[in-house]
């Protein structure tokens, strides 16, 4: 199920990479051989990764050196579909040998046509932290909310109202544990 979703995302991304001149047909076929997987569901910092087989440090890398491209399972949910394509694109750039986030890498990355997807990283990060949070520190006056993994226990004041934040359980404890 999730495996077929990953294949589907890859098959959306490869033709675009050909269109924008980043890879040719042969490279697309080689990239189809790269195993696809998922990173840990409760990861909150990593969105996706290109893992290489161990090799000489600092040595050139190519598609044959790639062990796996893995995407965050939350990113393949429908709501984040466009961002998942961009993540796949980013990791494919690593897979074709652009190991570092250097100037060339960023230039290639910027060629991805969906600008909104290119800029979704911060909001996806917030979404991950929010869904992992057990507590919602809430201001009883202005109702500002702060998602946190721990209770505030009366130690924090609302920056605006200067009243104590109260701890409201989010009811989402399952993702913070594993």
Q: Does 108 bind Zn ion (CB under 5 A)?
A: no
Question: What is the C-alpha separation between 102 and 105, in angstroms, rounded?
Answer: 5
For Zn ion (CB under 5 A), the number of binding residues is 6
Q: Characterize 88-104 residue by residue with b for buried, 16 or more Cβ atoms within 10 angstroms of its Cβ, and e for exposed.
A: bbbbbbbbbebbeeeee
Q: For Zn ion, which is the closer residue by CB, 7 or 46?
A: 46
| Cβ atoms of residues 14 and 28 within 8 Å | yes
In whole angstroms, how close is the CB of 54 to Zn ion at the nearest point? 19
**In the range 151-170, which residues lie near Zn ion by CB under 5 A?**
158, 160-161
Task: Tell me how far apart the alpha carbons of residues 148 and 138 are, in angstroms, rounded to a whole number.
Answer: 11
CB nearer to Zn ion: give 161 or 175.
Answer: 161
∠ CA 143-144-147, nearest 5°, is 120
Cβ closest to Zn ion, residue 70 vs residue 158: 158
Contacting residue, 79, 141, 150, 174, with Zn ion by CB under 5 A: 141
Among 104, 142, 157, 168, binds Zn ion (CB under 5 A): 142
């Amino acid at each position: 199920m999730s495996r077929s979703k990953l294949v589907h995302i890859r098959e959306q991304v490869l033709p675009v990479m050909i269109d924008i001149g980043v890879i040719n047909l042969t490279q697309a076929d080689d990239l189809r051989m790269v195993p696809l997987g998922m990173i840990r569901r409760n990861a909150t910092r990593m969105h996706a990764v290109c893992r290489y087989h161990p090799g000489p440090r600092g040595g050139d890398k190519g598609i044959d050196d790639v062990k796996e491209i893995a995407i965050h399972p939350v990113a393949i949910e429908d709501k984040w579909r466009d961002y998942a394509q961009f993540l796949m694109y980013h990791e494919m750039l690593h897979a074709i040998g652009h190991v570092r986030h250097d100037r060339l890498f960023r230039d290639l990355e910027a060629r991805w046509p969906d600008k909104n997807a290119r800029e979704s990283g911060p909001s996806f990060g917030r979404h991950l932290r929010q869904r992992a949070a057990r507590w919602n520190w809430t201001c009883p006056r202005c109702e500002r909310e702060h998602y946190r993994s721990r209770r505030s226990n009366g130690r924090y004041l609302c920056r605006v109202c200067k009243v104590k934040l109260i701890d409201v359980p989010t009811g989402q404890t399952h993702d913070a544990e594993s």
